[in-house]
Structure 1
Amino acid sequence: MTRDAPAPPPTPLLLTAACGVRATLDPFGARLTRVDAPDRDGRVARVVLGFDDPAATRAEALPDGGAYLGATCGRVANRIAGAAFVLDGVRYPLAANEGANQRHGGPLGFDRVDWAVVEAGPARAVLRHHSRDGDQGFPGALDVDATFTLSDAGELAVVYTATTTRPTHVNLVSHVYFNLSGTGGTIADHRLRVDADRFLPVDAAQLPGAPRAVAGTPLDLRRARRLDALLASDDPQLRLARGGNHNLCLNGAGLRAVAWLDHPASGRTMTLATDQPGLQLYAAGWLGGAFAPHAGLCLEAQAWPDACNRPDFPATRLDPGQRYRSETRLRFGVAPRDALG
């Protein structure tokens, strides 16, 4: 009796823009594996962490999830305390994968499945996944679409939509690591500004507490600051998070620009707009293997972590007949040599 050979990895999808920005998608985990963008002198280089070889992507992600490089995380991204929640009086135990807690949807989350390619064009791709009732412990069958659209101006839109057959919780996140230098190294020489007056402190398990004001803390990013200040900080919160692993409680509502990242040496810039209430700032202090700690910066538009156990947080509940939708836009650009200081 012969064993069938494993199916080959799905073919990556390429989106291109007239301005020179290119984005590569892998249906495995609906992940963004590569973005190329020009610097102020027109030199195009990679600005997100990832692998060009789909087999290498799988090898890094399996069996424990790896670093979630560029992946779509769900059904509920970030942490769920105690790997359980109560919904309508029923307790749902979940598959734990970070000690007693669940992280990024569990040991077989959306980052570790092959999504179906529904549409594949030069500027737009749609990927789809069906999550069965009870998947990783979550109630309700969930149908999810991930739509990636790249404009000729260099703006990449990521839109997630989902429907459910039973009441459940949903928080989908694109776990991309940015490094605008185009030459590797760390994010220490990048600058970041975020429109957030509050953040969620974390404990040693990276579980969130009640919101605190950013004023007087290293996480006060309301004015642009170099990231080396965060990476070198001896602030207890940043030491717990190895340079940052915090939800920033975004100001405003609806689709709006909330974060600005730039790399003065190359002139590359990125503006992030979202309709979500939170932005996870992860300085990649736990990276290892092919990428060193702090080789990239995650800016994950999201609902607040552990919201399914925190009635004081913005809700993540989704009921039958409702449609979950989240939108994040990443605009890549360049600034003149004297504009970034």
Structure 2
Amino acid sequence: MSFSSTHVTQEAFGEIRTSDGIQPVTQFTLTNPLGVKVQFITYGASVTNVFVPNKKGELHDVVLGFDDMAGYLKHENPYFGSTVGRVANRIAKGHFNLNGIEFQLAKNNGDNHLHGGTVGFDKVVWQAYAHRDGRITFTHSSPHMEEGYPGHLFTQVTYTLTDSNELIIDYRALTDRPTPVNLTNHSYFNLAGHNAGSQQLLNHHIQLCANQYTPVDSGQIPTGRVANVDGTVFDLRSETLLKDVIAKIPGGGYDHNFVINDSKNKFDNKLPLVAKIWHSESGRIMELFSDQPGCQIYTGNGFPADGSLVGKGGTVYSTHAGLAIEAQNFPDAINQPHFPGSVLQPGEVYHRTIVYKFGTQ
């Protein structure tokens, strides 16, 4: 692992109108000596493009997204590449009790709360700082009771692109009152290319370091059980071709949280391997490492089938066009006492890391 040679540039990407006036949105580009390029915008501290080589050395963009702010501001934007919080995933009925106080959040996913609410971290303009060593740090200050959450939360997300084609995402947060926190990145990958379509996504292989998963009800809220994957379509511990299993999954695809094992395969001797995906035709491989206890696998089941979701270069993103692999805490952890704790206390530092490592075979 090395960090020394990454080059950073920035340019205007657009603007948004808020109650405080017009806010500019900036795009940053990190490029390493191998030509691998990752781009981000200050809106949602979002990953917009990831250009990595195939087995022939040809660079293609492998994450779904939009060309301009108009796309990211559309209602149907499915969190492409964004930093989601203050709490990623779902909270049942948008409600929780913390230290004897009841809190009601926005219900923006049926009867439940999803990815931080109506105006979560994905829908605000973050402050950005470009480091001399080629890292980009985004910061956001979320005031007490924003979207119904207690406490003033200061959040920092730092992106690093290494000379070894690793994208490292480092999350840190501080609060002045107890509050639930669960941060992740919501990029959708298609290693055949962002515009390759669902057929190529289904030709991906996936392997997941998880012996268990958390079953859900009809609203995608965990039932409270932690079930073994043995003998089910959720057993992805060995190499699995997506098209061989996707039709067998209730709901038309994965949208489930898996309990991550403490794998012996670690990044920098610290972060366990969570998942590996690869696409044989292009030869691209992506490994995901993280210290998060769970991982949500989502196969884009909810993408519209009518061609209305149009992304980069006029590409229509239809059902199963991309795969989101979200290393995070378990859904609804704030309401499930036996799930990993999700409450950040004053004086503590929330610190989690996700690494996407790209290669070829």
- Mapped pair 1:188 → 2:199: no
SS of residue matched to 1:228: helix
Listed one character per residue, the Cα deviations across residues 51-90 of structure 1 (whole Å, up to 9, x for unaligned) are 13233222x3xxx462000111100010000111011111
- Mapped pair 1:7 → 2:12: no
Report the CA distance between 1:119 and its aligned residue.
2.6
Distance 1:79 1:72 in 2: 15
Distance 2:99 2:21 in 1: 42
1:169 is aligned to: 180
Give 1:208's aligned amino acid.
P
- The correspondence for 1:82, drawn from 79, 88, 93, is 93
Note if contact 2:71-2:77 (Cα within 8 Å) is conserved in structure 1: no
2:16 is aligned to: none
Give 2:345's aligned amino acid.
D
Note if contact 1:9-1:55 (Cα within 8 Å) is conserved in structure 2: no
- The correspondence for 2:257, drawn from 247, 261, 265, is 247
- The correspondence for 2:44, drawn from 29, 48, 67, is 29
SS of residue matched to 1:215: coil
Count of aligned residue pairs for this structure pair = 323
Note if contact 1:144-1:162 (Cα within 8 Å) is conserved in structure 2: yes
- Mapped pair 1:284 → 2:284: no
Report the CA distance between 1:98 and its aligned residue.
1.3
TM-score of the pair, normalised by structure 2: 0.86
- Mapped pair 1:328 → 2:354: yes
Report the CA distance between 1:185 and its aligned residue.
1.4
1:137 is aligned to: 148
Listed one character per residue, the Cα deviations across residues 238-294 of structure 1 (whole Å, up to 9, x for unaligned) are 223x20000010011862112101000000000100000000000110013121111
Distance 2:90 2:296 in 1: 12
Distance 2:187 2:280 in 1: 21
- The correspondence for 2:61, drawn from 43, 46, 53, is 46
Gaps of 5+ in 1: 336-341
The 1:6/1:143 distance shift into structure 2, 3 A limit, reads closer
Note if contact 2:84-2:183 (Cα within 8 Å) is conserved in structure 1: yes
SS of residue matched to 1:11: strand
TM-score of the pair, normalised by structure 1: 0.91
Listed one character per residue, the Cα deviations across residues 315-341 of structure 1 (whole Å, up to 9, x for unaligned) are 011000000011000001111xxxxxx
1:207 is aligned to: 221
Identity percentage over the alignment?
A: 40
* More deviation, 161-170/48-57: 48-57
2:15 is aligned to: none
SS of residue matched to 2:244: helix
